[in-house]
C-alpha cells in the first residue's frame, strides 16, 4: 500500500464546521480508497451548500506543488475567497484574520490531508507548511488575478511572536522564500477593508433607513447615479463591491398610466435592474432588490413568495419585470414589501397633518394590508445580507393584524389625541370616481411572513411601530 494512504481517514461523512475565525469553515471530505489509491468528491457544490458552504462561484483553480517536507508559504491575504484542499501529502495550515474589525489578528491552525478542506474568506491571511515530500496543495478562488487586486494584498510575517503560530518544523529549519521572510509584523499591518456595499436610492425613505443600518456603505441617488444608463456597468471597479442594495424605484402609480410615465416606470423599475443584474453576475456581487405587493392583483387574502405574478397596472407590471430580472443574478435577495412609511412625505404624515388641522377626511376602506416601516425593512434586509439564508424572494412587511387605509387613518387620529371617528371610509371605486389616469389598485396586499421568520427575522407589529413613529414625528 502506498505510504500516503496510511494518513487518510477513509469512510467518514461530509461535514462542515465553523472555526474560530468568522466565516472560515473546516470541511471533512469522504474519501474512498483501496490498495490502488483513493477517490473523493473534492468540491461538490450542491451537497456542500446545503451544509453551509457559501455560494462563492469559483473562477480559477490553482495548484501549489511542494517538493520537500518543510516548504512553508505565506502569510498572504487576498481580496477573494479560497477553497483549499490537498491532492497528495499533508500540511500544517495557519490562518490569521487580517480583515478590519474585532476579529483582526485571530488565528486558526489545522492539519489538512486529502480528507479535509477549508474555506477561507477574503481578507484572511493564508499560510501552510508541507509535512511530507511531494505535497500537492490546491485551491479554488472566486476572482482572477489583476494588478489592481494585487495592490490590495495584505501580508504578515510568518514568525510574528505576537501572533505566535507554533510551526511543527521550526522556521529556521524550514524552506521559505526571501519575500516571505520579510513581511511586516502585525502591529505594522494595515487591515484589509471589507468590500463595499452600495445603496442605490439613498435619499429615499428606505434609503435613509438603510444608511443607518449600513453606516459605512456608499450611497447614491438618481441625480448622481443613473441606474438606467448602461455605462454604469464599466464606470467603476465593481470587484471592490460585495453587495448592491437597490432601493430606487419609480413609484408614481397613477403617472405610470400615462405615455411618459409608462416609459419612466419601465426604464427605472425594469431596464435599470437589468444593468444591476449584469453587474452582479459578472462580479459575483449579492444583489438586493426591493419589490412590491403591486406585482399581484390582490385577489387572494394573503400572498406568499411562490404566487405567480398578476399585476393589474403599469407600475406593477414594471416591478414584476424587475423581480424577474433581479432573480437572474445567482446571488440575489428580493425583499418584497408593502405600504412603506419612513423619513419623508407619506400617508401617516398626511393623516397627522389633517388631524392637526381639524379636517375630517374620507379614506379608502377596501384596500387591505399592513404598514411597513422603513427602519424595520432595513433591518430585515441587513439580516438577509449578514445571515445569508438561501437566495430568493422574502416578504418583509410589518407584522400583526391586517387593516384597511381608513382604519389606519383612524389609528393616527386616536394616537395623536384626535377623534378617530372624524375619519370616514369610502370604497376605492367611489374615492377615484371622475378622476383621470387612475391606476387600478390591488384590494388585498397582505404578504405572508412565514419565510422571513423561518430565516430568523421577526418583523415588528405595525401598530407598535406606528405609535413609535408618531411619537418621533413633529
Is the dihedral angle over the CA atoms 203, 205, 211, 217 positive or is it negative?
negative
In the annotation, is 383 catalytic? Answer: no
Question: Can you read off the three cell numbers belonging to residue 58?
Answer: 469559483
Element (H, E) at 210: helix 205-213
CA separation for the pair 51, 5 (Å, rounded): 27
- Strands of 360-441 (E only): list them: 362-364, 368-369, 372-373, 392-395, 403-404, 424-426
Residues 117, 122, 127: CA angle, nearest 5 degrees: 55
DSSP 61: E
User: Annotated catalytic residue: which of 83, 137, 139, 469?
Assistant: 139
In 3D space, the residue among 103, 100, 119, 126 whose CA is nearest the CA of residue 55 turns out to be 119
SS3 helix, strand, coil % of the chain, rounded to 5?
30, 25, 45
Residues 237, 242, 246: CA angle, nearest 5 degrees: 95
Q: What is the DSSP string of 143-189?
A: S---HHHHTT-EE--TT-TTTT---SS-GGGSB--HHHHTPPPGGGP
In 3D space, the residue among 48, 220, 255, 75 whose CA is nearest the CA of residue 140 turns out to be 48
CA separation for the pair 252, 315 (Å, rounded): 8
Question: Can you read off the three cell numbers belonging to residue 463?
Answer: 401598530
- Which residues, in sequence order, are CB contacts of 349 under 8 Å at separation 6+? 473
CA separation for the pair 210, 232 (Å, rounded): 22
In the annotation, is 431 catalytic? Answer: no
User: Hey, is 2 helix, strand or coil?
Assistant: coil
Q: Could you give the residue numbers annotated as active site?
A: 76, 139
Amino acid at each position: 500500500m502506498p505510504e500516503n494512504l496510511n494518513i487518510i481517514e477513509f469512510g467518514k461523512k461530509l461535514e462542515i464546521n465553523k472555526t474560530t475565525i468568522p466565516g472560515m469553515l473546516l470541511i471533512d471530505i469522504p474519501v474512498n480508497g483501496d490498495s490502488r489509491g483513493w477517490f473523493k468528491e473534492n468540491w461538490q457544490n450542491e451537497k456542500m451548500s446545503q451544509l453551509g458552504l457559501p455560494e462563492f462561484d469559483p473562477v480559477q483553480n490553482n495548484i501549489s506543488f511542494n517538493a520537500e517536507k518543510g516548504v512553508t508559504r505565506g502569510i498572504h491575504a487576498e481580496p477573494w475567497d479560497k477553497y483549499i484542499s490537498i491532492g497528495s501529502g499533508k500540511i500544517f495550515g495557519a490562518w490569521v484574520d487580517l480583515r478590519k474589525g474585532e476579529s483582526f489578528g485571530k488565528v486558526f491552525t489545522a492539519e489538512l490531508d486529502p480528507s479535509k478542506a477549508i474555506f477561507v474568506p477574503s481578507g484572511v491571511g493564508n499560510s501552510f507548511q508541507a509535512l511530507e515530500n511531494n505535497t500537492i496543495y490546491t485551491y479554488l478562488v472566486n476572482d482572477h488575478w489583476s494588478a489592481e487586486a494585487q495592490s490590495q494584498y495584505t501580508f504578515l510575517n510568518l514568525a510574528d511572536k505576537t501572533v505566535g503560530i507554533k510551526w511543527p518544523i521550526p522556521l529556521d529549519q524550514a524552506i521559505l522564500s526571501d519575500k516571505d521572510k520579510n513581511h511586516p509584523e502585525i502591529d505594522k499591518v494595515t487591515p484589509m477593508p471589507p468590500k463595499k456595499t452600495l445603496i442605490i436610492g439613498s435619499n429615499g425613505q428606505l434609503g435613509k433607513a438603510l444608511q443607518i443600518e449600513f453606516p459605512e456603505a456608499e450611497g447614491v441617488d438618481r441625480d448622481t447615479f443613473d441606474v438606467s444608463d448602461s455605462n454604469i456597468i464599466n464606470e467603476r471597479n465593481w470587484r471592490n463591491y460585495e453587495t448592491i442594495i437597490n432601493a430606487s424605484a419609480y413609484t408614481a402609480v397613477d403617472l405610470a398610466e400615462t405615455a411618459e410615465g409608462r416609459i419612466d416606470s419601465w426604464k427605472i423599475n425594469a431596464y435599470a435592474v437589468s444593468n444591476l443584474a449584469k453587474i452582479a453576475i459578472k462580479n459575483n456581487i449579492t444583489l438586493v432588490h426591493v419589490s412590491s405587493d403591486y406585482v399581484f392583483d390582490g385577489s387572494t387574502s394573503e400572498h406568499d413568495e411562490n404566487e405567480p405574478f398578476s399585476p393589474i397596472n403599469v407600475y406593477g407590471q414594471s416591478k414584476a419585470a424587475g423581480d424577474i430580472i433581479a432573480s437572474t443574478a445567482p446571488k440575489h435577495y428580493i425583499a418584497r414589501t408593502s405600504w412603506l412609511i419612513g423619513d419623508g412625505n407619506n400617508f401617516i404624515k398626511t393623516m397627522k397633518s389633517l388631524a392637526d388641522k381639524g379636517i375630517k377626511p374620507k379614506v379608502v376602506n377596501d384596500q387591505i394590508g399592513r404598514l411597513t416601516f422603513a427602519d424595520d425593512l432595513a433591518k430585515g434586509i441587513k439580516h438577509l445580507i449578514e445571515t445569508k439564508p438561501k437566495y430568493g424572494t422574502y416578504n418583509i412587511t410589518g407584522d400583526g393584524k391586517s387593516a384597511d387605509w381608513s382604519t389606519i387613518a383612524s389609528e393616527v387620529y386616536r394616537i395623536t389625541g384626535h377623534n378617530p371617528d372624524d375619519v370616514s371610509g369610502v370604497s376605492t371605486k367611489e374615492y377615484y370616481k371622475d378622476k383621470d389616469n387612475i391606476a387600478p389598485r390591488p384590494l388585498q396586499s397582505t404578504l405572508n411572513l412565514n419565510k422571513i421568520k423561518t430565516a430568523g427575522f421577526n418583523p415588528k407589529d405595525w401598530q407598535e411601530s406606528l405609535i413609535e413613529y408618531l411619537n418621533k414625528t413633529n
